[in-house]
């Protein structure tokens, strides 16, 4: 199998996760090479974004990984970038990828939700919405996790496949629905997002790496998994 080509973007224009971004840049190439799944290239600054993320340059890649990006990134062509994904490419976003392009609704629609807020880091019980999806293979039962837990706005679970969620507020315990990870079709392309990944120890955890690699492999078309929304109404 010829490895896929994954472009890892770690540019930030808002808060920068200075503890986890170096781990993203270290771990993903190592895991991809070890598994023979993908090779990696990087966009770490504005100049590299201008060079590697034009519509023409993106043709060299099979997917893009937004690793804790924030703010309004200087994409050369935002509309062209989304059309590239829709043409059959993979988009993978982790944690603050949903804290990116707040003023650009088409991106929010593509990724499936928008960061609203978070409270203090907390211990939560992750609920599994789809145990058969490749991203959920490491989870055999509800998993207890300590991380910075995002809450979202502008999301609609009838538009994406739920993978992980909470059934209570991460800080005050109020019963409710709080999505954590999901996937969806974007035209002919695929989108996988997980809100986990603030803390360095999360990135170093075997279960998280397996969760992430399952989502990446699915988005790149290397593993099968359902992408149909479970919910008919919000």
Q: Is the pTM of this model over 0.85?
A: yes
Q: Is residue 232 part of a domain?
A: no
Q: Is residue 124 part of a domain?
A: yes
Q: How far is CA 135 from CA 81, 191, 216, 226, in A?
A: 25, 12, 8, 11
Q: Is residue 56 part of a domain?
A: yes
Containing structural domain, residue 17 = 4-219
Q: Where are the alpha helices (DSSP H) in 36-162?
A: 46-52, 55-58, 78-86, 105-111
Q: Is residue 67 part of a domain?
A: yes
Number of domains the chain is built from: 1
- CATH number, domain containing residue 110: 3.40.50.880
Instruction: State yes or no: pLDDT of 233 exceeds 80.
Output: no
Q: Is residue 227 part of a domain?
A: no
Q: Is residue 226 part of a domain?
A: no
Q: Is residue 192 part of a domain?
A: yes
Compute the average pLDDT of residues 51-61. 98
3-state secondary structure of 108: helix
Q: How far, in Å, CA of 100 to CA of 67, rounded?
A: 11
Tens digits of residue pLDDT in 181-218: 999 999 999 999 999 999 999 999 999 999 999 999 99
Q: Is residue 161 part of a domain?
A: yes
Tens digits of residue pLDDT in 78-99: 999 999 999 999 999 999 999 9
Tens digits of residue pLDDT in 124-181: 999 999 999 999 998 988 889 999 999 999 999 999 999 999 999 999 999 999 999 9
Q: How far is CA 171 from CA 50, 119, 123, 148, 174, in A?
A: 40, 7, 9, 10, 8
pLDDT at position 234 is 64
């Amino acid at each position: 199998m010829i490895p896929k080509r994954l472009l890892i973007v770690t540019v930030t224009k808002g808060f920068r996760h200075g503890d986890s971004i170096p781990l993203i840049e270290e771990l993903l190439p190592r895991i991809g090479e070890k598994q023979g799944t993908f090779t990696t290239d990087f966009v770490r600054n504005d100049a590299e974004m201008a060079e590697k993320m034009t519509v023409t340059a993106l043709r060299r890649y099979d997917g893009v990984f937004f690793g804790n990006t924030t703010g309004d990134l200087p994409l050369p062509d935002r509309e062209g970038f989304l059309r590239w994904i829709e043409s059959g490419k993979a988009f993978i976003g982790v944690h603050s990828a949903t804290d990116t392009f707040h003023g650009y609704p088409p991106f929010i629609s593509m990724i499936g939700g928008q960061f609203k807020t978070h409270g203090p880091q907390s211990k939560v019980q992750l609920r599994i919405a789809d145990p058969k999806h490749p991203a959920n293979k490491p989870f055999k039962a509800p998993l207890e996790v300590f991380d910075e837990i995002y809450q979202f706005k502008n999301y609609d679970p009838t538009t994406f496949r739920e993978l992980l969620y909470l059934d209570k507020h991460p800080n005050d315990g109020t019963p409710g629905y709080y999505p954590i990870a999901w996937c969806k079709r974007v035209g002919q392309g695929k989108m996988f997002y997980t809100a986990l990944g603030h803390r360095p120890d999360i990135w170093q955890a075997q279960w998280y790496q397996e969760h992430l690699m399952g989502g990446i492999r699915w988005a790149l078309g290397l593993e099968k998994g359902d992408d149909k929304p479970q919910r008919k109404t919000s």
